[in-house]
């Protein structure tokens, strides 16, 4: 094998799997730093702790790849969650409570989608408006008070399914769905195409607005499910819960390699990003790192991820330009 080929393979590995290398290295460091880290229960705890944010992050991943984002997911989660808890308390039906959460969240996301596609509002502004409205609606509905005594509703977030905590099962199922959507459907390919170059996607016959609406609807389903798990996990309907979760979800997606400029990202990468944050949070508490220092470290990780994203993207662009240049030279030579 020539040096060139080895370099090419190494570049390929670096660009596609660097996030998993980082995750593996971090895992080893954490295991060495504290003997409790590697226990099955601790790893299960981390997975359960990241589950809600990761489910939100899968929705964000689809949206970001498509060139959009959702700043309202934490607030919509709270609204969907309290409506769901309230439905359960009033009807005793877990199924109905689950459906209500999804419907409420999907409606909010349809509104997000309409703002973005029909009124051409930048997603940042549209979802920022929804963030405020949904939180306000959750507070108005509950009069700002938590709902207690939620009975069997806790099964969603505190029960077990197939021997695993239920939130983890939900997270894995949604991971599989997101992976399938992005990798194996026309919708998924359209999402990448729109995020990569919206005008080109439009010119090639992709119905951009329809794909964007669908992306928000899928995000709505995920946020609704996350709302049910969150409220169940904290054993209460909390209208002021999940504050800032949209930013944690964005962090997981970006650290996982989803490019803020669109067109690039994967469900598995987002999961890896969420685990990187989860491992870091866990090890910092286990090793008793000062609370203020923890915030600095989290911030630094986000900054590094974004810097890496910009650097990798510019490198890819240069490589593409070089390859185009080489091709044109080759063509000129042949002519």
Partner 1 sequence: MKKWLSVLLVVVLMMSVLVGCSKPAETKTEPKNEGPQVYRVAYIARAQADSFAAWLANAVKEEAEKYDNIVVDIFDGQANDSTQNALIENAITSKYDAIIIQPNNGEAQRPYAEKAVAAGIITITTNARIDGIEGASSVDADPYAQAAVNAVVAIDQIPQNANVVVLNGPPGNFHADARRVSWQKEFFEKRPDVKIVGEEIANWNKDEAMNYMETWVQANSKIDAIIAMNDNMAAGALEVVKGDARFANILAYGVDGTAEAVLLIKEGLMTSTSLQSAYELATNLLATSHKLLTGEETKIDMDIDCPLINIDNVDEFIEMHKRAGAIR
List residues binding partner 1 (CB under 8 A). 34, 36, 39, 41-42, 45, 48-49, 135, 139, 143-146, 148-149, 230, 233-236, 238-243, 281-282, 285-286, 288, 291-292
Q: Quickly list DSSP for 100-126.
A: HHHHHHHHHHHHHHHHHHTS---HHHH
Judged by CB, which is closer to partner 1: 135, or 214? Answer: 135
Judged by CB, which is closer to partner 1: 35, or 199? Answer: 35
Judged by CB, which is closer to partner 1: 43, or 306? Answer: 43
| Alpha-carbon torsion angle 300, 122, 201, 251, nearest 10 | 20
We find the least distance from the C-beta atom of residue 215 to partner 1, in angstroms, to be: 25
Judged by CB, which is closer to partner 1: 5, or 120? Answer: 120
Q: Which two tokens stand for residue 191?
A: 């999402």
Q: Are 47 and 171 in contact, with CB atoms under 8 Å apart?
A: yes
We find the least distance from the C-beta atom of residue 242 to partner 1, in angstroms, to be: 7
We find the least distance from the C-beta atom of residue 335 to partner 1, in angstroms, to be: 50
Judged by CB, which is closer to partner 1: 243, or 304? Answer: 243
We find the least distance from the C-beta atom of residue 326 to partner 1, in angstroms, to be: 47
Q: Are 225 and 170 in contact, with CB atoms under 8 Å apart?
A: yes
Which residue matches tokens 């005008």? 199
Q: Are 74 and 108 in contact, with CB atoms under 8 Å apart?
A: no
CA quadruple 228, 231, 301, 46: dihedral sign: negative
Judged by CB, which is closer to partner 1: 63, or 77? Answer: 77
| Alpha-carbon torsion angle 40, 42, 48, 49, nearest 10 | -160
Q: Is 87 helix (H, G, I), strand (E, B) or coil?
A: helix
How many CB atoms lie under 10 A from the CB of residue 198?
17
Judged by CB, which is closer to partner 1: 77, or 194? Answer: 77
Judged by CB, which is closer to partner 1: 197, or 294? Answer: 294
Q: Of 146, 152, 148, whose CA–CA distance to 241 is shortest?
A: 146
Q: Quickly list DSSP for 243-288.
A: TTHHHHHHHHHHHTT--TTSS---HHHHHHHHHHHHHHHHHHHHTT
Q: Is 147 helix (H, G, I), strand (E, B) or coil?
A: strand
Interatomic CA distance for residues 289 and 273, integer angstroms: 21
Q: Are 222 and 215 in contact, with CB atoms under 8 Å apart?
A: no
Q: E strands, the chain, where?
A: 160-161, 164-165
Q: Are 82 and 237 in contact, with CB atoms under 8 Å apart?
A: yes
We find the least distance from the C-beta atom of residue 251 to partner 1, in angstroms, to be: 15
Judged by CB, which is closer to partner 1: 41, or 331? Answer: 41
We find the least distance from the C-beta atom of residue 66 to partner 1, in angstroms, to be: 25
């Amino acid at each position: 094998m020539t040096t060139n080929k080895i370099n090419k393979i190494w570049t390929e590995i670096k660009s596609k799997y660097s996030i998993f290398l980082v995750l593996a290295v971090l895992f080893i460091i954490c295991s060495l730093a504290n003997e409790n880290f590697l226990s099955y229960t601790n790893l299960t705890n981390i997975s359960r702790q990241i589950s809600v944010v990761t489910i939100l992050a899968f929705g964000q991943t689809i949206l970001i790849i498509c060139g959009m984002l959702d700043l309202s997911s934490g607030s919509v989660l709270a609204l969907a969650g309290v409506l769901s808890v309230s439905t359960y308390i009033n009807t005793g039906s877990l199924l109905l409570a689950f459906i209500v959460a999804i419907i409420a969240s999907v409606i909010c996301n349809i509104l997000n989608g309409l703002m973005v596609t029909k009124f051409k509002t930048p997603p940042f502004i549209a979802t920022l408006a929804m963030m405020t409205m949904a939180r306000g609606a959750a507070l108005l509905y509950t009069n700002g008070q938590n709902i207690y005594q939620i009975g069997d509703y806790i099964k969603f977030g505190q029960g077990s399914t197939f021997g695993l905590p239920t939130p983890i099962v939900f997270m894995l199922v949604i991971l599989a769905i997101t992976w399938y959507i992005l990798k194996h459907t026309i919708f998924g390919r359209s999402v990448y195409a729109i995020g990569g170059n919206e005008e080109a996607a439009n010119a090639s016959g992709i119905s951009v607005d329809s794909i964007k609406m669908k992306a928000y609807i899928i995000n709505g389903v995920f946020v609704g499910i996350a709302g049910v798990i969150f409220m169940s996990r904290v054993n209460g309907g909390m209208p002021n819960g999940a504050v800032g979760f949209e930013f944690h979800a964005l962090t997981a997606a970006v650290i996982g390699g989803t490019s803020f400029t669109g067109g690039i990202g994967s469900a598995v990468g987002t999961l890896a990003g969420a685990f990187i944050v989860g491992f870091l949070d866990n090890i910092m508490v286990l090793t008793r790192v000062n609370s203020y220092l923890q915030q600095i470290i989290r911030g630094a990780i986000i900054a590094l991820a974004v810097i890496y994203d910009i650097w990798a993207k510019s490198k890819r662009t240069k490589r593409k330009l070089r390859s185009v240049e080489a091709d044109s030279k080759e063509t000129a030579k042949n002519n």
